[in-house]
Amino acid sequence: MYSRVWKLTIGEIGMRLAFIFFLIVLVLMCGSMFEVFGKPPKTPKILFTSTRDGNREVYMMNPDGSEQVNLTQHRASDLGAVWSPTGDKILFVSDRQGTRVRDLYLMDADGSNVRRVFKKKITAWRGHATWSPDGKQFAYVVTDRTRPKTELYLGTFGEEDAELLPHCAFPAWSPDGSEIACHIGPQTSRLTFINVHTRETERPLPTKALRWQFEPSWSASGDKLAITGNRHPLPVILDRDLHDAWKDKQTIFIVKRDGTGLQQLVEEDGPDAFTPVLSPDGLEVVYTQEINGQFQIFKLEIDTGVRMQLTHLGRNTDGDWFDPAYTLPVSPQPELLTTTWGELKKEK
């Protein structure tokens, strides 16, 4: 009698263990699916870098500055984060391999599943990355710290080799995928467009309209860009006070793709403003400006000129805007993988 009861108990235990094992496998399978496809934000979000926790970390917030969340929470410096076209991934810069090495990393939209983009290490710094609209490629800048030199490269996710592009900095891939906006110097920085297919360059905005033109950001429609600009010369001169006075005239502009319609958005009074990012609808711009001795992120309504300070703690820079209303569906759709974001938006 006791033997029969014991055998039944063993059987029940076996069934329960099998069921538990099945549940574990199911959870792991679902987890791997989420790891591949990720979960993008359901509402508009802005990525930015903040030092409020003692070192540079990647944060996310709503466009009104609410719900500011630390995504990286790491002792290394994490910065320069940019959304993938579908919002399920984030590309950012970190020195997790050592304080003298900055490289590109990927993570999911909630800050999980962090991994390096490249397996090969280099002594120079990789940074200032931008995604292609189909999410398969990215452009980035390599800075050689041993000499004042920066180079622009075109990389493909999953591959170690990268192609050297014409010299440029702060790349921003156009929404239709046809070109990369950037700026080129050194005597004067010029807004430059690199044709992705031919590698030809174009500079539609003359220096007589704006002497210094850099840090471009596209609207989702691709018809205009926000840029940092300075109407005044910035030579390397002995009179440092004069140089700093000119630098403080650096501010934010908006311009059409063909170089026309240049409009100044932020007054020159006060500290210099920089790193503008257009909202996908092109109606607002976020940018960085110093206030009370710290860099903070502001948002400006282009039509009304109404300005809002979004951050208040620590040093805050590097904004990047994502809006699910201006992106491809996130669920796997093989027929969409070879179609660019810009082409799909035109069909809607």
Beta bridge partner(s), residue 298: 287, 309
List C-alpha distances in Å: 107 to 14, 38, 179, 290: 39, 10, 26, 29
pLDDT above 50 (res 35): no
* pLDDT mean over 167-185: 94
d(CA 176, CA 340): 6
Range among 38-42, 227-231, 341-345 rated most confident: 227-231
pLDDT above 80 (res 267): yes
d(CA 85, CA 58): 18
pLDDT band at 49 (very low <50, low <70, confident <90, very high): very high
pLDDT above 50 (res 282): yes
Phi, psi of 105 (to 5 degrees): -130, 155
Chain mean pLDDT for the chain: 84
* pLDDT mean over 114-140: 94
Phi-psi region of 275 (alpha: psi -120 to 50; beta: other; left: phi over 0): left
Q: What is the DSSP string of 28-69?
A: HHHHHHHHHH----SS-EEEEEE-TTSS-EEEEE-TTS-S-E
pLDDT digits (tens, 9 = 90+) for 63-85: 999 999 999 999 999 999 999 99
d(CA 282, CA 41): 20
pLDDT at residue number 123: 83
pLDDT band at 9 (very low <50, low <70, confident <90, very high): low
pLDDT band at 144 (very low <50, low <70, confident <90, very high): confident
pTM of this prediction? 0.81
336 or 172: whose pLDDT is higher?
Answer: 172
List C-alpha distances in Å: 282 to 47, 130, 154, 276, 301: 17, 18, 26, 12, 10
